[in-house]
A and B are shown apart, each in its own frame.
Chain A
Amino acid sequence: MANVELTNVRKVYGSSVEAVKGINIAIEDGALCVLVGPSGCGKSTLLRMIAGLESITDGTVKIDNKVVNELGPAERDIAMVFQNYALYPHMKVYDNMAYGLRNRGMPKDQIDKRVKDAAQILELTQLLERRPKELSGGQRQRVAMGRAIVRSPKVFLFDEPLSNLDAKLRGQMRVEIKNLQRQLGVTSVYVTHDQLEAMTLADILVVMNAGSVEQIGAPLDIYEKPASTFVASFIGAPPMNLVPVKADHSGLVLKDGTRIGAEGLSIPATGALIGFRPEDLEVSAGTDTHIGGLALDLKVLGVEPVGAESYVYGIIGGERVVVRVPGRSTSNTDDQLRVIIPKQKLHLFGADGKRI
């Protein structure tokens, strides 16, 4: 068990391409930290730097309060689960799991016990004599987990481990990984581009963009208080609606010139973006007396029923938005709706994209 601490970690490829720009993250012992971001944001590079597979240009990586910058991957006491599992194709499941232990010179009986224990936890006992190609995707995924568990490392590193599974299996494995991580209490770093995985797994969520950290925090805190428009539109599905506004002497002006009451919002002179989650809109019954909310007109473009809820797509002030309504929606295309955003559910971002 150990904590992981990244201080000003940078990665520069060649002489000028900065893939990771000075990142600071502290992960407590036993916590599961998820790095999430679009592809190319540097999250995998960061993970590989923690693993020791990629050299660190600048800054320090500490595992268990010890700087590991100069140590090789095998000496860092970490275990990694790869996106394509990276099982040794010519070895049986048992040998795949035992290989790392054998390389460390662990006695045979001890290896046997560890492999069997891990197989028990992961329900792989029946499959120990099989080869990877005889296994299904989910089983391979488990073997890859098993290979990590038997090492009982200080840190688990997951590099998009579920992205090769189908949607149903992915949900199932997500729960299993979470439970396993809780049960073993091993500090973990998990990389994904899937915001749902990120939200459900993380103790600490790190949202990355273009080599920098956009926001660090508990998943729900980030969801409720995104620090920037990037985080707001990346976390949550469908993403947060963002409507640009400008202030003038008598109120607020939307993109298409619609005027609305300021309702006590202070908008900077450079303009701002009003953000609201699709589920935070209230469709008004016409009596426009809602207090402490922003009243807006929405023109319906289309409705998507998905069963438990419906998504109403529309336009507010020239900007496309989505509204999530429970159950069936009674709206039809080209309807005009009066929607109200309660003031406490309103997010305001400056012209630079930062939260105000």
Chain B
Amino acid sequence: MIQNNPVGRLIAHVILIIGILIVAFPIYYTFVASTQTLQEILRPPLSLLPGGHFWENYSAALFGGVGRIGGVGVDRLLFNTLVMALGIAIGKICISILSAYAIVFFRFPGRMIFFWLIFITLMLPVEVRILPTYKIMVDLGLIDTYTGLILPLMASATATLLFRQFFMTIPGELVEAARVDGAGPWRFFKDILLPLSKTNIAALFVILFIYGWTQYLWPLLMTNRNDMSTIVIGLRKMISFADADTEWHLVMVTCILAILPPIVVVVLMQRWFVRGLVETEK
């Protein structure tokens, strides 16, 4: 559907621009609000141009210790969330790539049982498992720790299945060639499987990082201390039911800061996707 008809092009552009505006405007509006004072925000209509309090608001949010969340700065929340998101993403990838490796390339008793055990966990939503998991974490004394935040979310059937499907496409001859070349299981994994999985790992990392970053229910249960909260929980705590109590300008700043890291990850990793697509090394 490539048309050189100018009217067609115009319509296409208009539709695209409207689409972009619908998606981008709320974010822009948030940004505008994050550069105003609380009084300006509460006195409608809100201006459509950024105000003059950018530095003031952002430094207050980052380092000032925002009142509502018990004197913890947004920087601390961002750090907590980063640790959690990275821990979940990296942990999940490590565990699932290793279990997929075992399931696809090794013959051991109970192989299919293990595979189905992993597969079945897909059928249990987080909410079903959350109470027993919580109980275990309490018994282990892992409340208010990074381990407690990360560990239960690390096992992933989805990622294991994805890697399994990819490994199954690797031709048997390649495995045999490596055996003839004297590569043991560990060398084969490190020298051949990992490099071939690069693009899969990158794609999974992006998805899992955002998954970890936006976790709400689990951190809500696991953290009591304000300095262990994640950014999403922090945001929730900042919003009070009485409108006047809420420091909306700081909430907006926190929103913008919460959006940034996932955007950075996507933008950086996108180059990997493209490279992977162009090279198709399979």
Contacts and interface: CB of A to CB of B under 8 A. Distances in A.
Interface of A: 51-53, 72-74, 78-80, 82-90, 99-100, 103-104, 131, 133, 147
Interface string B107-148: 000000000000000000000000000000000000000000
B176 interface: yes
B243 interface: no
B281 A73 contact: no
Contact of B187 (A51, A80, A103, A147): A103
A89 B282 contact: yes
Nearest to A72: B179
B187 A86 contact: no
B197 to A, nearest CB: 10
A84 B191 contact: no
Contact of B180 (A85, A89, A100, A133): A100
B177 A80 contact: yes
A73 B182 CA distance: 7
Contacts of B173: 82-86
Given A53-B176, A86-B174, A99 B181 contact: yes
A90 B281 CA distance: 6
Contact of B177 (A82, A90, A104, A131): A82
Contacts of B191: 88, 99
A85 B176 CA distance: 11
B196 A103 contact: no
Given A82-B177, A86-B176, 8 more contacts: A74-B181, A86-B171, A88-B191, A89-B196, A90-B196, A99-B183, A104-B182, A133-B279
A52 B180 CA distance: 9
A255 to B, nearest CB: 47
The 7 closest A-B pairs by CB, nearest first: A74-B182, A100-B181, A86-B173, A86-B177, A103-B182, A90-B195, A82-B173
Contacts of A79: 180
B268 interface: no
B221 to A, nearest CB: 43
B183 to A, nearest CB: 6
B181 A103 contact: yes
A300 B191 CA distance: 63
Nearest to B176: A53
Interface in B236-282: 279-282
Contacts of A83: 173
A99 B180 CA distance: 11
Given A86-B173, A90-B195, A80 B180 contact: yes
B281 A51 contact: no
A133 B181 contact: no
A137 B187 CA distance: 28
Contacts of B181: 74, 99-100, 103, 147
Nearest to A144: B177
Contacts of B179: 52-53, 72-74
A78 B176 CA distance: 13
A332 B115 CA distance: 67
A52 B179 CA distance: 9
Nearest to A54: B176
B271 to A, nearest CB: 18
A13 to B, nearest CB: 14
Nearest to A153: B180
Nearest to A83: B173
Contacts of A104: 182
Contacts of A88: 174, 177-178, 191-192
A53 B182 CA distance: 12
